[in-house]
Structure 1
Amino acid sequence: MKTKAVALYGKKDLRVREFELPEIGEEELLVKVISDTACLSTYKATILGEDHKRVPENLEEHPIIVGHEFGGYIEKVGEKLKDQFNAGDKFVLQPAMGLDSGYSAGYSYEFFGGDATYCIIPKVAIDLGTVLPFKGTYFANGSLAEPMSCIIGAFNANYHTKPYVYEHEMGVKQNGQLALLGCGGPMGIGALDYAVNGGLGVRKVVATEMDEQRLERLKKLVPVSAAKEKGVELVYVNAAKVKDQKEYLMELSDGQGYDDVMVFAAVEPLLVLADSILGIDGCLNFFAGPTDKNFTVPVNMYNVHYGSTHFVGTSGGSTDDMKLSLKLTEEGKINPSMMITHVGGLEATPEMILGMKDSSAGKNAIYPHISLELTALEDFEEKGKTDPKFMEIHRLIEKHDGIWNEEAERYLLENFTGQ
């Protein structure tokens, strides 16, 4: 089977390559990728190349396929797997393989990654149960189950204690106050959606962002009135317009401080602020992954000792987290597509990945079997003035309140074929 894929040959060296995949083994799967959503961690791997802990050292001879948030159809099943899988079945991938080597899809394999028309899922990934059945018909939300699983895993990692009871109560605090700092990016959007609509029992959510445009988008995606219907008091804060953030955020918590604080940017002042607004037994979750291995910030150890404040961080989500993400999405309780701001085809991927650090975009949904430059959702209307296909996608996006959706995806797949 011939495939076209985005491959990493070295630091900052991404290329679209077309080549023949080898014949699958008796314990492997050949899959057709329908969608892959881009992750900032792919940018980090691209910049670091062989210095990244998950990237092998022989990239020049064996370039790896990037992309790990993907789903599609099983095209061919190895002989020993025919009791587990069927050709034509839909799947999504859980890429957190947990190997001692650190290897995983999208970082480590020449034939296994999401930014490809077709790829091979190896035995090691199948044995680890990473190929999950997908019941839906909307592939972007299937791809986004992986980043949503990272969000769910982060919420699960928070914990709370009782004095002299040496057991952790896992998860964000029931009937507690939660602050989401710098949450205007894609993962912050997903976290806000989950905090309000995931049935977590949080009483108050305070969401901060410095960019006015991002903040306005948050308000549109998760309205205060909709949160109130779920029993959640939601407060938005433009941090750029607040003179003393600590004082203001403490006032919003009625002077008590926050039971849980999540930080979505690896910025020292934001982490110092998060530490300063923790309440008694407050838990700070450092969600953003830094690229600097020596990234450190001052911590109030007095509060650690006397206020029982504590800190956690996670990278990735478990298979159970991903299953919950799929379930909540299928039930219509959360909508991961809120994260998506751009869509495009495979050829647009290298430039998109290399530009991620300087981009204010949300999630980019890549469809390997279409031909389309990376296009912002709001730009379909302008392009539609000269091309009716673009105008139809604009209409379908507007039909769903400006959010990428299954109808738009289906039309895109049917009318922008080019591979």
Structure 2
Amino acid sequence: MKAKAVRLHGANDLRLDEFELPEIKDDEILVKVVSDSVCMSTYKCAILGTKHKRVHEDVADHPAIMGHEMAGDIVKVGAKHQDKFKPGMKFTLQPALNYKGTMWSPGYSYEFFGGDTTYCIIPAEVMELGCLLEYKGKAYYEASLAEPMSCSIGAFNANYHTKMGVYTHEMGIKEGGKLAILAGAGPMGLGALTYALHRDVRPGMIVVTDINQERLDRAEHLFPVEEAKADGIELHFVNTGNMEDPAAELIKITGGTGFDDVFCYAPVAQVVELSSAVLGRDGCLNFFAGPTDNKFSAKMNFYDVHYNSTHVMGTTGGNTDDMIESLRLTAENRINPAVMVTHIGGLDAACQTTLNLPKIPGGKKLIYTHLEMPLIALTDLRSRADEDSRYGELADIVDAHKGLWCPEAEEYLLKNFIKE
């Protein structure tokens, strides 16, 4: 069957291609992709091409479909999997396959498997690893965003703490402790924040920093300090951009103790060094943001490593359990992944969106793959109502939900904007 997809042909070479999908094998599944959110990792893949660890050397001859934060409908199931999966089921998947020691993943490594496409083929290893998940929720975008949410969930679960004289690690953030999310008012930081506020094991203090006041204001609008206080969490939003000594000011907020858990959400040396400087005793620094420079480095206070038991780690992606937790918390209305989304667009906008991602302000860019639509900020929907009244209707729905994308908005979009 025919498919249309954004495919990588080489470094900085993304193309919207139409091509023929092969017939599925007995151990494969054909799916219709409905939504895919654009990840900064996809941008890194697009600009690096075969220099990226997940991209195959012959990508010029076998271009890879981009995108890995996908959700949609199962169309056809190979004979081997018909006992578990049926046509018409909604799906999402965990893309961090780690199959037989390889780094292959959808959105980087496969010719016929990825998220920025109308249809794709899910290969046998995904089912073998238990990474294809039935999705029973209403909105496709929530399933797409379960993957980026799972990355932060994995980071929280991977942090650890120690006890003096005992050689064991207590996994997870410190319950009732002090937690900082540095460079945290972007999309992934807000995803981490909604999780930190509403997970089972929660801190007693959360400090979110950024140098962009507009992003901080939006974050505080979405997460009012008084609401956090009512749930027993002291929440602060701090602009470190104009501080003479950001480390001293942040430590002062903690009452002088420093932080138990620090998450660094920008691959910037100054942010890493600030993260190290604000750690308290036995503080765990999670370097979350992946750099493109394979020689990236920054200073860390090794006096504190030795005498105060501070430690550093990094996580990339989540696992299937983290993905399931994300879907569960979303279904229970405990977290709202829509806080990450600021733009929507069609498949025709995906190439330029991906290649220019760092230059586009705002948060997550959500692509609907059967839609033709330029990338549009949610705040700009109403300005287009004069040219097309449907944008005004969509703006009304979004405005009624604190300016956030929502299931009602997606339902209206899929019903009224897609030409069958």
TM-score by length of structure 2 reads 0.98
Shift of 1:333: 0.2
Shift of 1:241: 3.2
Letter paired with 2:98 = G
Matched, 1:408 2:403: no
Aligned to 2:184: 183
Aligned 8 A contact 1:377 1:397 in 2: yes
Percent identity, aligned pairs only, is 51
Aligned to 1:83: 83
Aligned to 1:276: 277
- Structure 1 stretches of 5 or more lacking a match? none
SS of the residue corresponding to residue 241 of structure 2 reads: helix
Aligned to 2:260: 259
For 1:109 and 1:48, locate their aligned partners in 2 and report how far apart those are by CA, in whole Å.
Answer: 16
Letter paired with 1:384 = A
Letter paired with 1:128 = L
For 1:243 and 1:200, locate their aligned partners in 2 and report how far apart those are by CA, in whole Å.
Answer: 34
SS of the residue corresponding to residue 191 of structure 1 reads: helix
> 1:122-170: CA deviations, max 9, x gaps?
1111111111010101010110000000000000111001101111001
Aligned to 2:36: 36
1:10-409 correspondence runs (5 A):
10-99=10-99, 100-409=101-410
For 2:388 and 2:71, locate their aligned partners in 1 and report how far apart those are by CA, in whole Å.
Answer: 29
SS of the residue corresponding to residue 97 of structure 1 reads: coil
Name segments (4+ residues, structure 1) moved above 6 Å. none
Shift of 1:197: 1.5
> 1:346-385: CA deviations, max 9, x gaps?
0000000000122222101100111111000000010013
For 2:114 and 2:273, locate their aligned partners in 1 and report how far apart those are by CA, in whole Å.
Answer: 37
> 1:93-123: CA deviations, max 9, x gaps?
1101012221011110110000000000011
Letter paired with 1:307 = N
For 2:253 and 2:298, locate their aligned partners in 1 and report how far apart those are by CA, in whole Å.
Answer: 25
For 1:6 and 1:363, locate their aligned partners in 2 and report how far apart those are by CA, in whole Å.
Answer: 18
CA RMSD after TM alignment: 0.9
Shift of 1:258: 0.6
Shift of 1:344: 0.4
Shift of 1:239: 1.2
Letter paired with 1:77 = V
SS of the residue corresponding to residue 143 of structure 2 reads: helix
For 1:201 and 1:65, locate their aligned partners in 2 and report how far apart those are by CA, in whole Å.
Answer: 38
For 1:359 and 1:350, locate their aligned partners in 2 and report how far apart those are by CA, in whole Å.
Answer: 13
Letter paired with 1:20 = E
For 2:34 and 2:227, locate their aligned partners in 1 and report how far apart those are by CA, in whole Å.
Answer: 32
For 1:392 and 1:110, locate their aligned partners in 2 and report how far apart those are by CA, in whole Å.
Answer: 38
Letter paired with 2:36 = D
> 1:63-109: CA deviations, max 9, x gaps?
01000000110000111211111000111011010122210111101
Aligned 8 A contact 1:30 1:76 in 2: yes
Shift of 1:280: 0.6
SS of the residue corresponding to residue 373 of structure 2 reads: coil
- Structure 2 stretches of 5 or more lacking a match? none
For 1:21 and 1:247, locate their aligned partners in 2 and report how far apart those are by CA, in whole Å.
Answer: 58
Shift of 1:59: 1.4
Which of 197-206 and 394-403 deviates more?
197-206
For 1:403 and 1:292, locate their aligned partners in 2 and report how far apart those are by CA, in whole Å.
Answer: 34
SS of the residue corresponding to residue 144 of structure 1 reads: helix
For 2:381 and 2:338, locate their aligned partners in 1 and report how far apart those are by CA, in whole Å.
Answer: 17
For 2:151 and 2:102, locate their aligned partners in 1 and report how far apart those are by CA, in whole Å.
Answer: 20
For 1:47 and 1:312, locate their aligned partners in 2 and report how far apart those are by CA, in whole Å.
Answer: 26
For 1:251 and 1:210, locate their aligned partners in 2 and report how far apart those are by CA, in whole Å.
Answer: 18
Letter paired with 1:376 = A
SS of the residue corresponding to residue 392 of structure 2 reads: helix
For 1:333 and 1:374, locate their aligned partners in 2 and report how far apart those are by CA, in whole Å.
Answer: 29
Matched, 1:7 2:16: no
Shift of 1:174: 1.0
> 1:218-254: CA deviations, max 9, x gaps?
0011110111122111011111232221111111010
Letter paired with 1:142 = A
Aligned 8 A contact 1:280 1:308 in 2: yes
For 2:387 and 2:56, locate their aligned partners in 1 and report how far apart those are by CA, in whole Å.
Answer: 46
For 2:242 and 2:406, locate their aligned partners in 1 and report how far apart those are by CA, in whole Å.
Answer: 33
Aligned 8 A contact 1:45 1:55 in 2: yes
Aligned 8 A contact 1:95 1:104 in 2: yes
SS of the residue corresponding to residue 141 of structure 1 reads: helix
> 1:319-341: CA deviations, max 9, x gaps?
00000000000000000011000
Aligned 8 A contact 1:197 1:230 in 2: no
Aligned 8 A contact 1:65 1:114 in 2: yes
For 1:351 and 1:114, locate their aligned partners in 2 and report how far apart those are by CA, in whole Å.
Answer: 16
Letter paired with 1:179 = A
For 1:199 and 1:394, locate their aligned partners in 2 and report how far apart those are by CA, in whole Å.
Answer: 34
Letter paired with 2:325 = L
